[in-house]
């Protein structure tokens, strides 16, 4: 790489750079716009990550790459805050025997969000810098090169994106970015410390999901998203033009997970996109989201599976609390929320008992009716007060409100071997023992008036022997939204899709 180091004139290419003065600029080799990094040559230079700069590096001269987070010129000096991911450090440049006036002036003109390489000496700060994550050290700048310039007018200011949804400073509504502006400018929005943390926690949920299930002997599988027929009765499915015919986008990997069980994989999971063509514009609906799905053959009772899933959530909650303390604190700073509570083993209530709790609280509903979103929330609050848990399992739903493949309860035909799981009163998993017998399945298909031709290969999967099994599907974005109390599923989908948004 022909960097400005190697004798080239600085300040080439950039528009908003002050013209050099007629005097010889003794610092001219120490600053400027770096030519585009095009991998021209290999440079043997270590870049220290902002988060790793601490007292141990005091008095050392290091190279750092980061963005100009803020910049404040003050006569012969300029205070910068350099940001890399969630970490920030103060950098100071002052006119002195090595730093010319034009150099300081150049630095003040670098636009916010530009990526820069800085060489500087690490010094201890006289008092902690509260506005930075690296409070006890700062950089005395010796060289500055712009790696990638940001256009001077940002469509979204990071400091606005970093404020809470409804920020009040000194009793006055502070400027902040609304959800649409954030999403329209997602690449900038995602740079906030909270967003940097949210997607690391999200990756953590997936990792904990997989690690927990791997340890229990599950096999990861991949299921097709393009399917020949609407899997669950035809509603809410996206249609795809498939060569000279049509196909659909899978609303869930469930049929395929079950086929994997019929194919002897025993315990399977899959993480992947699922699609819902629902015209629901709410805080918790997306048209495309990430499903964490599992399916498991059991010996004699589907509670073997319910217990496995309950324990899975316990492991996820434990793992998040252990491994992501810093990230969760960063998120809570921008989006405050009540601490998350859970009990171990997970609380399991029967549907009818849930209805009894609601009735006690004055909420009446039919014993075979489905819970409304509002009643789910009320029940969540009751459960939280009574059992001190934000996570619980509601078991034995009425058969009438569940899909055709749900195993009826053998002890009471009104109910079924099915369950939902909730975080902070909102559903994050739906599951059941599935019917593994082709004859019974056909009866239920007929009862539900589902077209058997559409699901022939699914029904056939149970004709050649299949162990009893149960499973469930978890909505990743919902888990994270509710666990972190973020209030909108668009905050936990990196590039969310809803009926009105397919960009960026």
Interactions with a copy of itself, residue window 42-101 (CB under 8 A): 42-43, 45, 47, 65, 67, 84-85
Strand, helix or coil for residue 504: coil
Active site residue 285: yes
Cα separation, 429 vs 439, whole angstroms: 28
Q: How far is the CB of 314 from a copy of itself (least distance, A)?
A: 21
Q: How far is the CB of 374 from a copy of itself (least distance, A)?
A: 26
CA-based nearest residue to 144, from 184, 111, 104, 112: 104
Catalytic residue among 69, 402, 469, 478: 478
Active site residue 84: no
What residues numbered 379-408 form the site for a copy of itself, per CB under 8 A?
407-408
Q: Which residue has the tokens 């035909």?
A: 413
What residues numbered 288-307 form the site for a copy of itself, per CB under 8 A?
288, 290, 299-303
8 A C-beta contact, residue 181 and residue 476 = no
Q: Choose the stretch contacting a copy of itself; rule: CB under 8 A; options: 97-105, 252-260, 326-334, 343-351.
A: 252-260
Active site residue 284: yes
Cβ contacts of 258 within 8 Å, gap of 6 or more = 295, 405, 434, 458, 461, 469, 471
418 binds a copy of itself (CB under 8 A): no
What residues numbered 425-454 form the site for a copy of itself, per CB under 8 A?
433, 436-437, 440
235 binds a copy of itself (CB under 8 A): no
Active site residue 278: yes
Q: How far is the CB of 187 from a copy of itself (least distance, A)?
A: 5
100 vs 192, beta carbon nearer a copy of itself: 192
CA-based nearest residue to 254, from 460, 422, 406: 406
Active site residue 276: yes
The 473-502 site mask, x for binding a copy of itself (CB under 8 A), equals ---x----------------xxxxx-x--x
What's the number of CA atoms in the CB half-sphere (13 Å) around residue 187?
A: 6
Strand partners, 495: none
272 burial (CB, 10 Å; 0-12 / 13-18 / 19+) is middle
8 A C-beta contact, residue 208 and residue 200 = no
Catalytic residue among 86, 114, 430, 493: 430
8 A C-beta contact, residue 297 and residue 261 = yes
Catalytic residue among 83, 182, 284, 469: 284
Q: Choose the stretch contacting a copy of itself; rule: CB under 8 A; options: 73-81, 96-104, 145-153, 443-451.
A: 145-153
Strand partners, 423: 391, 426
* Backbone CA torsion sign across 313, 319, 322, 323: negative
Give, in degrees to the nearest 5, the angle at Cα 399 between 395 and 401: 95
18 vs 155, beta carbon nearer a copy of itself: 155
Cα separation, 137 vs 14, whole angstroms: 31
What residues numbered 347-386 form the site for a copy of itself, per CB under 8 A?
none
By CB under 8 A, name the one of 126, 171, 362, 410 that touches a copy of itself.
410
Catalytic residue among 14, 278, 304, 350: 278
CA quadruple 490, 493, 497, 498: dihedral, nearest 10: -30
Phi-psi region of 290 (alpha: psi -120 to 50; beta: other; left: phi over 0): beta
Active site residue 191: no
Strand, helix or coil for residue 87: strand
Q: Choose the stretch contacting a copy of itself; rule: CB under 8 A; options: 94-102, 258-266, 445-453, 479-487.
A: 258-266
8 A C-beta contact, residue 225 and residue 272 = yes
The 170-209 site mask, x for binding a copy of itself (CB under 8 A), equals ----------------xxxxxx---xx--xx-xx--xx--
26 vs 242, beta carbon nearer a copy of itself: 242
Q: Site for a copy of itself (CB under 8 A): how many residues?
A: 111
209 vs 342, beta carbon nearer a copy of itself: 209
Distance of CA 293 to the CA centre of its chain: 17
Q: How far is the CB of 214 from a copy of itself (least distance, A)?
A: 7
Which sequence positions are flagged as catalytic? 276, 278, 284-285, 427, 430, 478
């Amino acid at each position: 790489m022909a960097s400005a180091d190697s004798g080239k004139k600085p300040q080439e290419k950039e528009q908003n750079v002050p013209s050099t003065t007629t005097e010889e600029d003794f610092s001219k080799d120490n600053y400027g716009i770096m030519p585009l990094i095009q991998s021209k040559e290999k440079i043997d230079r270590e870049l220290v990550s902002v988060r790793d700069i601490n007292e141990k590096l005091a008095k050392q001269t290091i190279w750092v790459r980061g963005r100009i987070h803020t910049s404040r010129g003050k006569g012969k000096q300029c205070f910068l805050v350099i940001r890399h991911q969630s970490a920030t450090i103060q950098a100071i440049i002052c006119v002195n025997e090595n730093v010319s006036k034009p150099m300081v002036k150049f630095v003040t003109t670098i636009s916010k969000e530009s990526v820069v390489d800085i060489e500087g000496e690490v010094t201890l700060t006289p008092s902690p810098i509260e506005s930075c994550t690296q409070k006890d050290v700062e950089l005395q700048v010796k060289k500055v090169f712009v790696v990638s310039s940001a256009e001077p007018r940002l469509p979204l200011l990071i400091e606005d994106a970093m404020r809470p949804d409804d920020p009040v400073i000194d009793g006055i509504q502070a400027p902040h970015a609304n959800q649409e502006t954030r999403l329209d400018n997602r690449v900038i929005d995602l740079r906030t410390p909270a967003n940097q943390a949210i997607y690391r926690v999200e990756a953590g949920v997936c990792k904990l999901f997989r690690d927990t299930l791997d340890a229990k002997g599950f096999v990861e599988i991949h299921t097709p998203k393009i399917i020949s027929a609407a899997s669950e009765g035809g509603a809410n499915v996206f249609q795809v033009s498939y060569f000279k015919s049509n196909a659909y986008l899978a609303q869930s990997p469930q049929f395929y997970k079950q086929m994997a069980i019929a194919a002897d994989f025993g315990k399977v999971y899959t993480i992947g996109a699922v699609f819902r063509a629902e015209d629901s514009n709410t805080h918790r609906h997306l048209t495309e989201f990430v499903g964490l799905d599992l399916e498991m053959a059991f010996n004699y009772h589907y509670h073997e599976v319910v217990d496995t899933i309950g324990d899975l959530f316990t492991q996820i909650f434990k793992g998040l609390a252990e491994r992501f303390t810093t990230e969760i604190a960063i998120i809570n700073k921008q989006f405050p929320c009540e601490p998350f509570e859970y009990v171990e083993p997970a609380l399991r209530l029967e549907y009818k008992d849930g209805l009894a709790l609601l009735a006690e609280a004055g909420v009446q509903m039919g014993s075979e009716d489905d819970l409304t979103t509002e009643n789910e929330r009320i029940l969540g609050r009751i459960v939280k007060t009574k059992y001190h848990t934000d996570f619980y399992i509601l078991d034995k739903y009425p058969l009438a409100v569940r899909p055709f493949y749900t195993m009826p309860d053998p002890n009471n035909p009104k109910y079924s071997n099915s369950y939902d799981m909730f975080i902070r009163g909102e559903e994050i998993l739906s599951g059941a023992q599935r019917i593994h017998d082709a004859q019974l399945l056909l009866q239920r298909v007929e009862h539900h008036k589902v077209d058997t031709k559409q699901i022939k290969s699914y029904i056939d999967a149970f004709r050649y022997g299949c162990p009893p099994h149960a499973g469930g599907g978890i909505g990743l974005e919902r888990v994270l939204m509710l666990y972190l109390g973020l209030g909108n599923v668009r905050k936990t989908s990196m590039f969310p899709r809803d009926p009105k948004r397919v960009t960026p």
